[in-house]
Amino acid sequence: MTNPTDNLRIVLVGTQHPGNIGSAARAMKTMGLSALHLVAPERFPDPEANTLAAGADDVLAAAPVHADLDSALAGCHFVLGTSARRRHVPLPDMSPREAARALLEAAGRGPVALLFGRERTGLENEELQRCHASVGIPTNPGFSSLNLAAAVQVLSYELRLAVLETAVGELASGRPMPPVEAEPPATADELERYFAHLDQALHEIDFHKGKPPEMVMQRLRRLYLRAGLDAREVKILRGILAEAQRMARIARGGRA
């Protein structure tokens, strides 16, 4: 069986300082993680990244550089975003410990991602909306923001604890991790296509009645992400939308 941590992507979004990328790679390697993904870093590759990686150059060398978040999340079925403060995005909150356990459990079934934001501004609301939950390291409320690589270290440590906990559990019980489910979970890209379809269908059935659709779409996103849909369920939901669109066309006097 492949190691579930191979499925665990640490995704740094829009990193400004190459030193932080190197320090993050080092933080990951010390905790047994290796799948680093970079989205539009400002300076990379850069000698400063290698200096601060201090021997974790293999993690840096293997790190794909993506032009956008979509490409970094391709194939992922579970995504969490770290944030130093509460945002105006209605997302469930997780502690680092809960997040590490949930990520590891989900990584047994396919690729998952943990997102880290920009040094100056963190993750944008649009990026957080791609996440199933947001993860906050409980810090001093008056001084809540850690250095990016320090935040990667804390979460990598929690992931390490979760791995060790699982390994001890397996050793004690003599049983391996739960078997792979019959139906694969929906990937982030399948979910995005579903949300686009839902948005379109809601317009066609005139659900919003002239009101702005953003709030409803945010709530619906949260609902569907919480449900942990599998690929087949997404197909069924899209089938329902297609039927609703067909009926709306008939009601408008068009042809089925």
* Of 78 and 194, CB closest to ligand SAH: 78
Task: Judge whether 128 and 134 are in contact, CB under 8 Å.
Answer: yes
Subset of residues 30 to 89 that bind ligand SAH, contact rule: CB under 6 A: 82-85
Distance separating alpha carbons of residues 116 and 134, to the nearest angstrom? 11
Q: Does 24 bind ligand SAH (CB under 6 A)?
A: no
Residue nearer to ligand SAH on the CB measure, 131 or 186: 131
Query: Is 123 a residue that touches ligand SAH (CB under 6 A)?
Result: yes
Q: How far is the CB of 154 from ligand SAH (least distance, A)?
A: 8
Distance CA 164, CA 169 (A): 8
> Rounded to whole angstroms, how far apart are CA atoms 178 and 193?
29
**CB closer to ligand SAH out of 112 and 229:** 112
Contact 232, 184 (CB under 8 A): no
Residue written as tokens 């379109």? 200
Q: Considering the rule CB under 6 A, would residue 145 count as an interface residue with ligand SAH?
A: yes
Q: For the CB of residue 177, give the shortest distance to ligand SAH in the complex, in Å.
A: 27
Which amino acid type is present at position 227? Answer: A
Terminal Cα-to-Cα distance of the chain (whole angstroms): 49
Q: Both tokens of residue 79?
A: 């995504």
Contact window for ligand SAH (CB under 6 A) among 33-41, 141-149, 167-175, 193-201: 141-149
Which of 67, 88, 121, 141 is the binder for ligand SAH (CB under 6 A)? 121
Contact call for residue 136 and ligand SAH (CB under 6 A): yes
Q: Is 116 in the site for ligand SAH (CB under 6 A)?
A: yes
Residue 175 burial (10 A CB sphere; 0-12, 13-18, 19+): exposed
* Interface residue with ligand SAH, options 27, 122, 131, 191 (CB under 6 A): 122
Q: In the chain, what is the greatest distance between 2 CA atoms, to the nearest angstrom?
A: 68
The residue from 119, 192, 204, 233 that contacts ligand SAH (CB under 6 A) is: 119
Which amino acid belongs to residue 49?
A: A
Q: Which of residues 72 and 137 has its CB atom nearest to ligand SAH in the complex?
A: 137
CB 91, min distance to ligand SAH, A: 13
CB 135 within 8 Å of CB 83: yes
Q: Least distance in Å: CB of 89 to ligand SAH?
A: 12
List, in order, residues 6 or more apart from 109 with CB less than 8 Å away. Answer: 77, 180, 181, 184, 185
Where on the chain is the footprint of ligand SAH (CB under 6 A)?
82-85, 116-117, 119-123, 135-137, 139, 144-146, 148, 151
